[in-house]
Chain A
Amino acid sequence: MIELIIPAIISCILAFFVVYFITPPLIKILVKKNYTVKDMNKKENVMVARPGGISIILGIVVSELVLYGFFQLNEILAIIITTTAAFVIGYVDDRKVMGGWFKPVTLAIAALPIIFLGAYSSDLAFPLFGDVQIPLLYLGLIIFMIPITGNTINSIDVLNGVASGFMVIASFTLSICLFILQNYEIAIVSLPLGFVSLAFYKYHKIPSKIFPGDSGALTFGAMYGVIAIIGGVEIIAAIALLPAVINSFLFLSSVKRVVEHRQIKGKPVEFTSDFKLKATNDKTAPVTLVRLILAGGPLTEKQVGFAIFKLAIFSGILAIITAFMMGVSL
């Protein structure tokens, strides 16, 4: 057991402190280069540095390389390659506005190393009912999973601190589930995602000093998706991600097509005179998670963020219950 504990501690410390110490100078560099965007939810004209994906990917790569030094697992290589590819895809989208096809198609290509490295099992495990072997279908699942998790996390990156805070809850939930299922090596490999998210949350929480950008959100989502595949916990991972899945589902079922957020004309949310967020009555605007939360009345940005975190904790509890149910057979 000690041979697992030492790499786990070293990688978690590295993951946290690389992001913790690199993000402040990164903010200074981005501001100096004028790589900033307006924070749309602030009364004043506040400009925030973007993209923070650079420090996120550094934290992940450094900690996973250290883990590779200890374990030499193809699964770790799959995490490093796919997550780095997702970062590059997001960075391109941060710098240049790309078409709606760009992210799904390129993220699907980014998932290919998982297949080439054989870092997966084609058994899909369900709670209570056991496994089902789906060799061909599983290859399709891998190709679809990374674009879905990447874009799902990207779609909830709408308020200060929400994407990183949500990732803290979802990724630690996934690690706990992997420990429950006694998949210790992958559980340790998954821990840096939670610590990177936690360190980034310090600068991303309200009032944000930096935004993750597409590069950060896709990095978070892609790594989460890879862990779900290599750990064989796809269903549990989907459950832990349910609030973000609901957001994407509500959005798609209201606009009825795959479309970039910036192409939508109607505004789902507006501001009250005291600058609280309020749901609009605009029928052309998409239905989103934030809009539904605000249907009960105006709330501050911080209150909406915490409402999302509470939903994430609730789905995290459901995911942990599901992990325990994996050991039960009907």
Chain B
Amino acid sequence: MKSGLYGFLFGMWGLIIIGGGIMVVLLGPFSIQQFGDFHWIISSGIKVTISLILVVIWILILSKLKNYIFKKELKF
């Protein structure tokens, strides 16, 4: 059991590193200039949307990982 927990911790760590990389690659260079003074608000709004989608995907992957690692223990 305990090795499963360490594996899950390590998996979460890996997901954070990879998720962070995707976020930097997707959101880092992203900018919109054609909306005058409001461009940063629109850029931020789109970045918020992309980030929320990434977080949802991250949680779904984490749920799958949890079910895979703890498939025996989660039969409570």
Interface positions of A (Cβ within 8 A of B): 124, 126-137, 140, 235, 238-239, 242-243, 245-246, 249-250, 253, 279-283, 285, 287, 289, 291-293, 295-296, 307, 310-311, 314-315, 318, 322, 325, 330
Name the contact of A292 in the complex, choosing from B28, B41, B51, B73 (C-beta under 8 A).
B73
* Given known A-B contacts A239-B16, A242-B13, A128 and B74 have beta carbons under 8 A apart: no
Whether the Cβ atoms of B28 and A136 lie closer than 8 Å is no
Residues in B with CB closer than 8 Å to A295 are 1, 70, 72-73
Report 17 cross-chain contacts, Cβ distance below 8 Å, ordered by A residue: A128-B17, A129-B24, A132-B28, A136-B41, A136-B44, A137-B48, A137-B51, A235-B16, A235-B20, A242-B13, A246-B5, A253-B63, A292-B1, A293-B1, A295-B70, A310-B2, A330-B21
- Rounded to whole angstroms, the CA-CA distance of A311 and B5 in the bound complex is 8
Whether the Cβ atoms of B12 and A134 lie closer than 8 Å is no
Whether the Cβ atoms of B1 and A130 lie closer than 8 Å is no
Whether the Cβ atoms of B76 and A245 lie closer than 8 Å is no
Whether the Cβ atoms of B28 and A311 lie closer than 8 Å is no
A278 to chain B, nearest CB (A): 12
> Residue on A with the closest CB to B3?
A296
Name the contact of B76 in the complex, choosing from A124, A287, A314, A330 (C-beta under 8 A).
A287
- Rounded to whole angstroms, the CA-CA distance of A285 and B72 in the bound complex is 17
* Chain A contact surface mostly: helix
- Of residues 2 through 44 on chain B, the ones whose CB sits less than 8 Å from some CB of chain A are 2, 4-6, 8-10, 12-13, 16-17, 20-21, 23-25, 27-28, 40-41, 44
- Rounded to whole angstroms, the CA-CA distance of A126 and B74 in the bound complex is 33
Closest CB pairs A-B (n = 4):
A136-B44, A126-B20, A296-B1, A129-B24
Residues in A with CB closer than 8 Å to B13 are 239, 242, 315, 318, 322
Residues in A with CB closer than 8 Å to B51 are 134, 137
- Rounded to whole angstroms, the CA-CA distance of A213 and B66 in the bound complex is 30
Whether the Cβ atoms of B21 and A126 lie closer than 8 Å is yes
* Given known A-B contacts A132-B24, A136-B47, A287 and B74 have beta carbons under 8 A apart: yes
Whether the Cβ atoms of A137 and B24 lie closer than 8 Å is no
* Given known A-B contacts A128-B21, A246-B9, A296-B1, A134 and B76 have beta carbons under 8 A apart: no
Tally A-B pairs: CB < 8 A.
102
* Given known A-B contacts A127-B17, A318-B10, A291 and B76 have beta carbons under 8 A apart: yes
Whether the Cβ atoms of A293 and B10 lie closer than 8 Å is no
Residues in A with CB closer than 8 Å to B28 are 130-133
Name the contact of A282 in the complex, choosing from B1, B40, B76 (C-beta under 8 A).
B76
Whether the Cβ atoms of B76 and A135 lie closer than 8 Å is no
Whether the Cβ atoms of A292 and B17 lie closer than 8 Å is no
> Residue on B with the closest CB to A330?
B21
Whether the Cβ atoms of A279 and B76 lie closer than 8 Å is yes
Whether the Cβ atoms of B2 and A307 lie closer than 8 Å is yes
Residues in A with CB closer than 8 Å to B24 are 126, 129-132
Whether the Cβ atoms of B9 and A137 lie closer than 8 Å is no
Residues in A with CB closer than 8 Å to B21 are 126, 128-129, 330
Interface centre among A128, A131, A295, A307 (most CB of B within 10 A): A295
Known interface pairs A130-B24, A293-B5, A314-B6; 12 further A-B residue pairs with C-beta atoms within 8 A, sorted by A's residue number? A126-B21, A126-B24, A129-B23, A130-B28, A136-B45, A136-B47, A140-B48, A253-B63, A292-B5, A293-B2, A295-B72, A315-B9
- Rounded to whole angstroms, the CA-CA distance of A276 and B69 in the bound complex is 25
B74 to chain A, nearest CB (A): 7
Name the contact of B9 in the complex, choosing from A140, A311, A322 (C-beta under 8 A).
A311
